Amino acid sequence: MPKIIRILLLLGLLITASIAVEAQAATSTIDVLQVKGTVNPVLVDYIKHGIDHAEDNNAIACIIQLDTPGGLVTSMLDIVEDIVNAQVPVVVYVSPAGGWAASAGVFITMAAHVAAMAPATNIGAAHPVAVGGEAEMSETQEEKILSIIASKAKTIAELQGRNAEWAERAVRESVSATEQEALELNVIDMVAPDLDSLISQLDGRQVTMLDGSVVTLHTQGATVNHVKMSWTEGFLYAIADPNIAYLLLSLAMLGLMVEISNPGLIFPGIVGGICGLLAFYSLGVLPVNYAGVLLIVLAFGLFIAEVFTTTFGLFTAGGITSLVIGSLILFKGGPLFQVDWRLIGGVAIFITALLGFVVSRVIRAHRRQASTGREELVGKRAVVKVALAPEGTVFFKGERWTAVSEKGQVEPGEEVIITRVDGLMLYVIKKQ
């Protein structure tokens, strides 16, 4: 009997251990975030939520697949802070082939606990181009900012045991490197052709967290969980683009211009209002030059004035000039934050054509005014209200007129034809 009990206990322990191993395997996950585009406040929220998700679910690691031309320095610093202070190992993987980690992407990659790159990718050129929505800086201020950013790059590289000298040169001299050069220079830790290969190479690797603790990664057989942007984050990230922001601003102005020039249409005003609010959000997360915004607002003010005053193209010409100049200087930060000139040209041509159509109709209306007035009443029909014997009252287009019958008496309710007008007196004959 005791032997049977021992056997049962042994079986129970084996089953319990098996269940525990299976439960542990079931919870062994790696969260993967996908970053493609500029670094901005929306991306900050996405990465923060992704790291928090990995921490809350006890993930083995959080991998950030990165492909970015750079972005705002302030947003980059927030992301670096989230990565450095993460309670779960964060791996930044510059991919896919042809991708790059430029400008702000350099800092994000070097801040990771493990930095990796795919073949045919690049990293570097971290010279700051967009600190935020600040005013134009003097040369002295720019040098101070450059020194601060370079110092930050060195600090991040030293924290993760990477090449601090190269990090400083990437900021001051805008140097860059291929994946193999970055590996040889100790800028990254490994090169992996794809995500599966990266996960395989991570297995057994030890990383040191901010608190000094050493974590060994057991990635073999782990479940990959792709954490995508929420619908809201995806939408806001999409409109936080210079071209989209410019297009929204243009649609807002057009909608409001149409509504002001044609009160009561409602729909253009609603569309313009919605586009305007979205444009203000987009402009709020981008390095805006407010002189450009004011020039665009001035342009649409001139367009509205053209509709109401009909200067026969003078205000339109001024407005187009103001629009194009404002569009070209709307954003700061170099080519990364410039509106596509083809979009600017398209908007300018569309507005010119629209205003040309409106102005042409106004001109035709002015030309018709010479032949309009009381003379246009001749030949029109009216209804007798007070019997014409021969003088009485007729009703024409919602108004009562004094009228004289030129041929006999006409009774109330009968129709008459207006033959001539003398001041406020209509001369009519009975309709046959």
For residue 77, give the nearest of 39, 129, 125, 50 by alpha carbon: 39
Distance CA 285, CA 13 (A): 58
Nearest 10 degrees: CA dihedral of 15, 21, 27, 32? -150
Q: Could you give the CA distance from residue 194 to residue 259 in angstroms, rounded to a whole number? A: 53
Whether 405 is a known active-site residue: answer no
Active-site residue identified among 75, 95, 103, 282? 103
Asked if residue 287 has a cis previous peptide bond (ω within 30° of 0), the answer is no
Structure tokens at 160: 């993760």
Four-CA torsion 340, 343, 349, 355, nearest 10 degrees: -120
Query: Tokens in use for 144?
Result: 């101070």
Nearest-angstrom CA–CA distance, 411 and 430: 9
Q: Collapsing DSSP states into helix, strand and coil, what is residue 415?
A: strand
Catalytic residue among 18, 36, 144, 431: 144
Is 96 within 8 Å of 63 (Cβ atoms)? no
Distance CA 385, CA 5 (A): 117
How far is the C-alpha of 283 from the C-alpha of 292, rounded, in Å?
11
DSSP assignment string, 189-255: SEE-SSHHHHHHHHTT-EEE-TTS-EEE---TTPEEEEEPPPHHHHHHHHHSSHHHHHHHHHHHHHH
What would the two tokens of residue 274 be? 């919605």
Question: Tokens for 254?
Answer: 């057009």
**Has 176 been annotated as catalytic?**
no
For 255-276, give one letter per residue: b (16+ CB within 10 A) or e. Answer: bbbbbbeeeeeeebbebbeebb
Residues recognised as catalytic: 103, 144
